């Protein structure tokens, strides 16, 4: 009986501790949300794409993602896939006002991009970038973004794992942060915060069979985003593409082991200024749906496209080293013929 009494007392003490710790933890989360939420933005885009209706041709497609303000001069981090081929970008703050912005750096391989506000409020509240290298599995994190357009939504979770992708981006290994914090469509590009209110990741993608969140979300570490966007200033081409290699390269009659089939090109981007042509016809190639009829990039700056993306890091380094006025040279396969495109890089 005495042992049973001790167990009951111990359980009662545990429940009492939880009753105190629960509200205290909720209060901590509430205060953290209020502190960092002003730095979180919605990223609204407009781009041209091929309509699902074959007879409609090109159509205007609105897009939505999230982002985080990182500087007082109006720089915003987001996901590259949100803005890579956007003709127009608008950034919506917590007060609902939308301000124009443009892309200044982007890496599709790392899936991060940097925006610059063209206009912005006088009072800005940028977030602090944290050290993602210090994260451990089990650390608590929060994600703030706009899932399905529901702006400034908070989800809470933990670091579930740290995954090396095996690739090299801007001279260093690429890594992903795995989390169980709920992530859905519209969260892409939003910040992951540690409990000190520092940005430790940029939301990238989920693994799902249903189309919604199933407990497996991934973010790009803040250290990677800083290296790619702020140190290397990865070149934004405005082009989205599909790698053609092996059987696909043969199907499209690529005259070398690999090429990049252009899918979309953002208006006013360096790719558009060079005259690179986007795809215009929906095609089913095996299990993959692509846009055909566009250019196939064979080489950039004298660097040929090679299988498995081995040359993409070299090409990114070449492009990122260009300055306004420098000439860009791109070889493309167009209508079965190799066409050489060249032109000066314009300042943005």
Residue 242 CB contacts under 8 Å (≥ 6 apart), including other chains: 248, 260, 261, 263, 288, 290
Same domain, 245 and 340: yes
For 253, the domain range is 239-344
Same domain, 134 and 194: yes
269 and 311 together in one domain:
yes
**Sign, CA torsion 301/316/232/108:** positive
State whether the Cα torsion 198-149-122-229 is positive or negative: positive
Q: Dmax of the chain from CA atoms?
A: 90
- Which pair of tokens denotes residue 309? 């993306």
Model confidence, pTM: 0.89
196/260 same-domain check? no
Q: Are residues 216 and 259 in the same domain?
A: no
Instruction: Let me know if residue 267 belongs to a domain.
Output: yes
Residue 226 sits in the same domain as residue 137: yes
Residues 261 and 222 in one domain: no
CATH code: domain of residue 167: 2.40.10.10
Decide which of 177, 208, 231 is a domain's last residue.
Answer: 231
CA 120, 39, 75, 133: dihedral to nearest 10 degrees?
180
Q: Say whether both 254 and 318 belong to one domain.
A: yes
Whether the CA torsion 256, 105, 202, 143 is positive or negative: it is negative
Domains in the chain, number: 2
- The reported pLDDT for the residue numbered 53 is 66
Same-domain check for residues 223 and 279: no
pLDDT in tens, the chain (348 residues): 444 344 333 434 443 444 445 788 889 999 999 999 999 999 999 998 877 766 556 788 999 999 999 999 999 999 999 999 999 999 999 989 999 999 999 999 999 999 999 998 878 999 999 999 999 999 999 999 999 999 899 999 999 999 887 676 777 778 899 999 999 999 999 999 999 999 999 999 998 877 778 889 999 999 999 999 999 999 999 999 999 999 899 989 999 999 999 999 999 999 999 999 999 888 887 777 889 999 999 999 999 999 988 899 999 999 999 999 999 999 999 999 999 999 999 876
Catalytic residues: 81, 111, 188
What is the domain-level CATH number for residue 272?
A: 2.30.42.10
The two three-digit tokens of residue 34, written as one number: 């209020």
Using alpha carbons, list the distances in angstroms from residue 119 to 83, 102, 154, 190, 270: 18, 10, 27, 21, 22
- 14 part of a folded domain: no
**Structural domain contains residue 226:** yes
Closest CA to 62 of 72, 48, 76: 48
């Amino acid at each position: 009986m005495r042992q049973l009494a001790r167990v009951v007392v111990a359980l009662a003490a545990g429940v009492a501790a939880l009753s105190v710790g629960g509200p205290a933890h909720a209060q901590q989360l509430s205060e953290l949300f209020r502190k960092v939420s002003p730095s979180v933005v919605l990223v609204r885009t407009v781009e041209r794409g091929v309509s699902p209706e074959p007879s409609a041709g090109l159509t205007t497609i609105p897009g939505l993602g999230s982002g985080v303000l990182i500087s007082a001069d109006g720089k915003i981090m987001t996901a590259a896939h949100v803005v890579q081929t956007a003709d127009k970008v608008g950034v919506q703050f917590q007060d609902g006002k939308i301000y124009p912005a443009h892309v200044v750096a982007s890496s599709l391989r790392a899936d991060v991009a940097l925006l610059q506000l063209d206009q912005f409020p006088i009072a800005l509240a940028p977030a602090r970038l944290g050290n993602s290298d210090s994260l451990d599995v089990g650390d608590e994190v929060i994600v703030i973004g706009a899932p399905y357009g529901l702006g400034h939504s908070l989800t809470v979770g933990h670091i579930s794992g740290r995954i090396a992708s095996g690739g090299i981006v801007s001279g260093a290994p690429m890594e992903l942060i795995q989390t169980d914090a709920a992530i859905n469509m519209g969260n892409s590009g939003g910040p992951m915060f540690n409990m000190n209110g520092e940005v430790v990741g940029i939301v990238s993608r989920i693994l799902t069979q249903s189309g919604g969140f199933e407990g497996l979300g991934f973010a790009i570490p803040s250290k990677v985003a800083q290296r790619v966007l702020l140190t290397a200033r990865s070149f934004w081409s405005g082009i989205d593409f599909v790698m053609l290699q092996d059987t696909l390269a043969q199907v499209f009659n690529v005259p070398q082991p690999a090429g990049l089939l252009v899918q979309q090109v953002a208006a006013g981007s360096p790719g558009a200024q060079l005259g690179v042509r986007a795809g215009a016809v929906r095609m089913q190639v095996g299990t993959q749906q692509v846009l055909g009829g566009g250019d196939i990039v064979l080489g950039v700056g004298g660097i040929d496209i090679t299988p498995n993306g081995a040359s993409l890091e070299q090409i990114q380094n070449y492009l990122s080293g260009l300055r306004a006025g420098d000439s860009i040279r791109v070889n493309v396969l167009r209508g079965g013929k190799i066409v050489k495109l060249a032109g000066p890089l314009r300042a943005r």
